[in-house]
Amino acid sequence: MKTLSPIKFACLSAAAALPFALSAPAMAQETTQPEVYVGAQGGYHDLGDNPLGKDGSPIYGVFAGVDVPVGPVLIVGAEGNYNLGSGVIDSEYGATGKIGVRVGDRGQLFARGGYQWVDVDVRKATGINTPAGFDDTSGDYLVGVGGQYKIGENTALRVTVDTLGFDTTRVAGGLAFNF
């Protein structure tokens, strides 16, 4: 095995460290603090095919989460949500993890995955009264994508598109407040 001379070793080490040295001032200007947010949202959750035609519900609710910068562009985070429905959905709630990228100074695109529970109003969905003790809550994994754009120093508009088990589609828009 051939050994490197001290001069060649120093030159290779400097060349390998150069990208990190050049990016350090830019990274120092980026925020490294977690960003906590809460918000309100509204949208529509389509539960899929129902023989009676009642297969979805307008939803409205709240969400809260935290985004943690991992570098100058990459973000990871966690979020929880709670929504009420005004159709066949009584309520829904869940939690997701997310990974995203910053787009420019104000934008963010993200993908997320987690678990969501949906409490269905069986009487509105089927026309049949729910028997006493019947559990009408069902859960499944959630995957989705979203984007947000800051419209002020501490506010952002956002849109998300999710699916539960690739059987349902949920689209929501909201307003987030950052702390």
pLDDT mean over 146-156: 96
Question: For 20-56, what is each residue's pLDDT tens digit?
Answer: 444 444 444 455 799 999 999 999 999 887 655 668 8
Q: How confident is the model at residue 100 (pLDDT cuts 50, 70, 90)?
A: very high
CATH number, domain 32-178, options 2.40.160.20, 3.40.50.180, 2.60.110.10, 1.10.3720.10: 2.40.160.20
> Does position 73 have pLDDT exceeding 60, yes or no?
yes
Q: How confident is the model at residue 77 (pLDDT cuts 50, 70, 90)?
A: very high
Domain-by-domain residue ranges, the chain? 32-178
- The half-sphere exposure of 114 on its side-chain side, counting CA atoms within 13 A, is 19
What integer best gives the mean pLDDT of the chain? Answer: 83
How many angstroms separate the CA atoms of 87 and 59, rounded? 8
Structure tokens at 119: 């409490």
Mark 21-51 as b/e (b = at least 16 C-beta within 10 Å): eeeeeeeeeeeeeebebebebebebebeeee
How many angstroms separate the CA atoms of 6 and 108, rounded? 45
pLDDT mean over 63-91: 95
Q: Give the pLDDT confidence score for residue 129 in this predicted structure.
A: 73
With 0.85 as the threshold, say if the pTM is over it: no
Q: Classify the phi-psi angles of 48: left when phi > 0, otherwise alpha if psi is within -120 to 50, otherwise beta.
A: left
Q: Give the pLDDT confidence score for residue 87 in this predicted structure.
A: 87
pLDDT mean over 96-125: 92
